[in-house]
Amino acid sequence: MNIIAANGAGIPAIGLGTWQLRGRTCARIVEQALRLGYRHIDTAQMYDNEREVGEGLRASGVKRDEVFITTKVWTTHFRPNDLERSAKESLARLRLTEIDLLLLHWPNPQVPLAETMGALAHAKQLGLARHIGVSNFTVALIEQAVAACPEPLACDQVEYHPYLDQAKVKAACARHGMALVAYSPIAKGRIRNDRALARIGDRYRKTAAQVCLRWLVQQNVAAIPRTSKLERLSENINVFDFELSEDDMSLISAMSSASNRLTDFGFAPKWD
């Protein structure tokens, strides 16, 4: 498994996304993923499944220090005391003593960013999280967050797949030594019907989803595909035994546009 270096953190290039995975399904998929070799799990306070992620981790028998667990603080907890309490509650649900990567889930302009970045850094200094970072931050917000944070930021987790151009955010992350972690990396499943990606895949004996995930990791981007299906767990991690040619990388990059965003809300920032 490739590891992505990010301001002192080593983020396994493929992780398991867990949004919408709940209850026993979630615990079982996390357990199976870890047994299959996944070493990175992405959850969030908002997903209401931290307890099950912790159960899956313990059931897998994989040692705690071999697994990289990310969770996220929801925007209603961005005042300093709330953020600390929220991180402690996540730890209690996960039954862990330390989160590997603690993220701000979305920007929240209602709370001064400097205050929240200070609180996030404090959570790290208290030992609640080994690394900290942000999610859904634009270039301008990355610049403000880096300037306001007394601790280095490991990543910006944003939507990224072949249909969405994220060159600007990627460059901003690189400038600051941060990793880009791609969410919805297979465009919420839409990639499976992509004939162009399937045709490229035929040359490597890989599926469209594998080509898509390989395109991400080959750019030194981490990806966190989600699946509720056991057979797809292996498919999605089996992307380290081939390399896309430069021509194929460019063909896939040319599919993108800035308007193909799948996740957007009224409270989202003004995207780059």
Interaction of residue 226 with ligand NAP, rule CB under 6 A: yes
Single-letter residue type at 181: V
Give the integer Cα–Cα distance in Å for 77 and 235.
36
Contacts of 87 (CB under 8 A, 6+ apart): 73, 99, 102, 123, 128, 129
Q: From the list 60, 86, 157, 166, which residue makes contact with ligand NAP (rule: CB under 6 A)?
A: 157
> In terms of CB distance, is 257 or 263 closer to ligand NAP?
263
Contacts of 174 (CB under 8 A, 6+ apart): none
What residues between 87 and 146 interact with ligand NAP by CB under 6 A? 105, 135-136
| Nearest distance in Å: CB 184, ligand NAP | 4
Interaction of residue 229 with ligand NAP, rule CB under 6 A: yes
| Nearest distance in Å: CB 264, ligand NAP | 11
Do 214 and 206 touch, CB atoms closer than 8 A? yes
Q: From the list 228, 234, 238, 260, which residue makes contact with ligand NAP (rule: CB under 6 A)?
A: 228
Tokens describing residue 59: 């059931």
Give the integer Cα–Cα distance in Å for 83 and 90.
11
Q: For 182-205, b where at least 16 C-beta lie within 10 A, e where not — what string?
A: bbbbbbeebbeebeebbebbeebe
| Nearest distance in Å: CB 60, ligand NAP | 18
What residues between 41 and 60 interact with ligand NAP by CB under 6 A? 42
- Annotated catalytic sites, by residue? 47
Interaction of residue 183 with ligand NAP, rule CB under 6 A: yes
Interaction of residue 227 with ligand NAP, rule CB under 6 A: yes
Do 9 and 131 touch, CB atoms closer than 8 A? yes
Interaction of residue 232 with ligand NAP, rule CB under 6 A: yes
Q: Which residues bind ligand NAP (CB under 6 A)?
A: 17-19, 42, 105, 135-136, 157, 183-189, 192, 209, 224-229, 232, 235-236, 263
